[in-house]
Structure 1
Amino acid sequence: MSAYRLFLVLSGVGAFAGNAAFTLNLVYQSQVVGLGPWQLVLVGTVMELVCCAAQVPTGVIADRYGRRRSVVVGQLLMGLGLLLWGLVPTYVALLAANAVWAVGAVCVDGALEAWAADEIGAARVGRAFVRAGQLAQVGTVLGIAAAVALAGVDLAAPILVGAATTLALGVTLAVAMPERGWSPPAAGQRSIVGSMRAHLVATAGVVRRHRVLGYVLAGTLFLGLGSEGFDRLAQPRFVTELTLPGTLTPPVWLGAFAVVAAFGAVPLTGLLGRLVDVTRPRRVARLLVAVQAATAGSVICFGLADGIGPAVAAYLAAAVLRHAAAPVLNAWLVANTSSGTRATVFSIWSQVDAAGQIAGGPPAGWVGQRVSLGAGVVTAGAFLVPAVFWFAVAARRHPADVEVAMPDGTCAGQPAA
């Protein structure tokens, strides 16, 4: 299988496995494991903290020892974490499973995008990211449907199916995943710690030389601050502050919203894909500004809406835009990083996003508890406004004909020979 097709399969099947495991995960934790509200929050916090702490080391290992190895190990660890998650319904086992899954997730995060950029090539990688985003959205819908169907048998069943699928995907990648575009570093034989230090210094140098990356990281921090509040408060607001039609139960309505958002993001991602060109990073940056501005407006409108109709419209708009924005940001980062530090830069970007999520949930939750859930959502939306500002700064400061090294030796802003 070609690298292009393998990347698409991994994106679609991975999204199916993840959504099958996580769609009703909180129901499993509360009803089967018996966790209370504080324990539920603590489990999520442990996951985010492990993700944040492991981002840089795993990114350095991917740059030093190969992206293929990092992705394969990550898939296997995620599968083992989910397997422990579903087989041992205790609080301690759940904390351990979250930690194992989180390490696996950050092994894949960044390394997969860097692998795709190196193996697919500059001419097709932008299209690959967009098409992978579409397939991931389809996988999301199928995963949600599988979770709902399997939960009727046993609440642990969707998690175990997600675990088995993830493990099978890891074994498949170990056999079929090529790695021809990556070259190991020169045989200086630094220790892992020394290699981490050298890569971090090199990445900091990239950010200093190319300030636009710094602006994007600042925007990413605020994206994380806003996303966690929206994720935690949106569904409770539908249940407690808004009146959903009585024709369906609230869980069914919320599941329907998730499916509509995932399907709605497919054509939008395709439209954005026709506008994304990694050899024109300034254009990609402007597109990102427009998408994030629309997302911030939709989140704020959802928090302010009183009627169910406007609230559903704003919620779906925000959900669709958030789905569709990820491939655009991935393409932008690829256009502004070289192969040698790409995995590390992606990992630092993910670490900044995780730090924002850790810090952003409590303020929005406090406002939601003291004032209203709608006010908490508005607070989350307010965090997104500075993100739009920083992305706008990045777009404005981006040189029109910037030369950024690409995996095939060409430069962004210059056509290949």
Structure 2
Amino acid sequence: MKIQNIYYTVTSLRSLFIQIVFTVNALYYVVDANLNALQLVLIGTILEATIFLFEIPTGLIADHFGRKRSLFIGTLIIGIAHVFEGTFPSFWSIAIASGLWGIGWTFISGAEEAWIADELNGKDLNSVFLKGAQFESLGQFLGILISVCLATLFSVKISIIIAGIMLILLSLGAFLIMPETKFIKVTHSKDITTIRHLFITIRDGANQIRGNTILISLAVITVLWGLASEGYDRLWGARFIEDFHLSEETSVYWFGAFYAFTFLLNMIILKYIERHIHKNYSVILLITNSLLTIMVLIFAFSSYFTLAIITYLMASTLRKVYYPISSTMTNERLASKGRATALSMFGQLDAIGQIVGGPIIGVIALYTSISYGIASSALLILPIILCLFVMIKKEN
């Protein structure tokens, strides 16, 4: 099997199984676990705090011991987290599961991109990442359908547990089929201690970012994106359930439909970008973030269910354009040696933003309303638009 096909298979299957959980977890948190607005956001803050703490250590593990091992460990931990989450519907059990999920994701973050970039010798990354995003969207779309079926036939919690078991099996299967032939281990001389070498590796990764003005701009945008995203991620489901009074049974079908339309739109947009737009990525991000701000504000305050659905779908689609484009822009400017560590630093910057922004938005939502919490997320996108203006001027 070609390297690209292995990459597409593993990432799309993992996306499928995780999407089974994501389709219903907003409903699970509000209805089964009875979490309030602040608790909803704190779940995300706990996840991001673990990402912040573990991004660099796990990135170093990937650079020292291999990206394949790192991917296996990460997928396994995420599977275990979902099994635990679905078994015990309470704030503290979900909080623990979120912490495990964050740790698991840091083993995957950076390592997967570094693995495929190394195996392809850094060639055709633009096409691979964009096409990979499309395959992930397809996996997520199938995950939505499967999630709705499982939740309807059994229950929301059973669908979460099944997804966790499948992720555990995927981690074992991926470890068996993924080759690792181009990995360059980060080594050090015998007279340098391991701790000292870890600091040297971190320094080298930071130097890659510091030496490139576009990477610096992307680092700033990553922090701002984290500030803006966490509140929206955690509150949109509560907005529909509480403000429009959706029942549990009805919510399963509506949420499934929301995700399905979002991913279909995402696949269409990414395909258009892949075929017709090359290198104008900063402009694309500027346009999408400007439209995103408008859509989120309308979604936050609309009293009409249909308008809320339309703006939610548009906002969710626009948000998904950000990641493959920023990933392409970042990987094109990083060297192979130490790439996973440098990419993990970007993950850590995103976590910082979400750790800071999440509780602020949660408190706003708790003491005002969910609508105001979501609207505050939209306002935090405005500095990103300003940064993109500056980046475009530097590129020109």
Shift of 1:5: 0.5
For 2:207, the equivalent position in structure 1 comes to 205
C-alpha spacing 1:28/1:320, structure 2 compared with 1 (3 Å): closer
Moved more, 63-72 or 307-316: 307-316
The separation in 2 between residues aligned to 1:305 and 1:42, in whole angstroms, is: 25
Post-superposition Cα deviations, 1:220-257, rounded to whole Å, max 9, x if no partner, equal 1111111112223323333444588x9x9355333322
Shift of 1:331: 0.6
Taking the TM superposition and a 5 Å limit, the aligned residue runs for 1:47-196 are 47-87=47-87, 94-152=94-152, 153-189=154-190, 190-196=192-198
Contact 1:118 1:181 in 2 (8 A): yes
SS in 1 for 2:380: helix
220, 227, 230: which one pairs with 2:229?
Answer: 227
Are 2:346 and 1:344 equivalent residues in the alignment?
no
Unmatched runs of 5 consecutive residues or more in structure 1: 401-417
For 2:359, the equivalent position in structure 1 comes to 362
The separation in 2 between residues aligned to 1:194 and 1:335, in whole angstroms, is: 28
SS in 2 for 1:11: helix
C-alpha spacing 1:350/1:46, structure 2 compared with 1 (3 Å): same
Moved more, 210-219 or 121-130: 121-130
The separation in 2 between residues aligned to 1:134 and 1:358, in whole angstroms, is: 29
Contact 1:62 1:69 in 2 (8 A): yes
Amino acid at match of 2:175: A
Amino acid at match of 2:298: C
Contact 2:26 2:238 in 1 (8 A): no
The separation in 2 between residues aligned to 1:294 and 1:34, in whole angstroms, is: 33
C-alpha spacing 1:94/1:119, structure 2 compared with 1 (3 Å): same
SS in 1 for 2:186: coil
372, 375, 389: which one pairs with 1:375?
Answer: 372
Contact 2:44 2:234 in 1 (8 A): no
For 2:238, the equivalent position in structure 1 comes to 236
The separation in 2 between residues aligned to 1:216 and 1:91, in whole angstroms, is: 34
SS in 2 for 1:328: helix
The separation in 1 between residues aligned to 2:90 and 2:361, in whole angstroms, is: 29
C-alpha spacing 1:103/1:236, structure 2 compared with 1 (3 Å): closer
Contact 1:272 1:328 in 2 (8 A): no
Greater helix proportion: 2
Contact 1:243 1:308 in 2 (8 A): no
Shift of 1:116: 1.4
C-alpha spacing 1:249/1:31, structure 2 compared with 1 (3 Å): closer
Shift of 1:370: 4.3
C-alpha spacing 1:104/1:234, structure 2 compared with 1 (3 Å): closer
Shift of 1:110: 0.9
Shift of 1:63: 1.8
Shift of 1:148: 2.2
Shift of 1:9: 0.7
C-alpha spacing 1:332/1:99, structure 2 compared with 1 (3 Å): same
Shift of 1:381: 0.7
SS in 2 for 1:24: helix
The separation in 2 between residues aligned to 1:126 and 1:383, in whole angstroms, is: 29
The separation in 1 between residues aligned to 2:335 and 2:112, in whole angstroms, is: 15
C-alpha spacing 1:101/1:376, structure 2 compared with 1 (3 Å): closer
SS in 1 for 2:156: coil
Moved more, 1-10 or 140-149: 140-149
The separation in 1 between residues aligned to 2:251 and 2:188, in whole angstroms, is: 59
Contact 1:67 1:115 in 2 (8 A): yes
SS in 1 for 2:123: helix
The separation in 1 between residues aligned to 2:187 and 2:367, in whole angstroms, is: 57
**Taking CA–CA contacts closer than 8 Å with sequence separation of 6 or more, which of the two structures ends up with the larger relative contact order?**
2
Over aligned residue pairs, what C-alpha RMSD do you find?
2.8
Shift of 1:56: 1.0
Amino acid at match of 2:352: A
The separation in 2 between residues aligned to 1:355 and 1:25, in whole angstroms, is: 23
The separation in 2 between residues aligned to 1:397 and 1:181, in whole angstroms, is: 34
So what's the TM-score if we normalise by structure 1?
A: 0.85
Amino acid at match of 1:262: F
C-alpha spacing 1:83/1:188, structure 2 compared with 1 (3 Å): farther
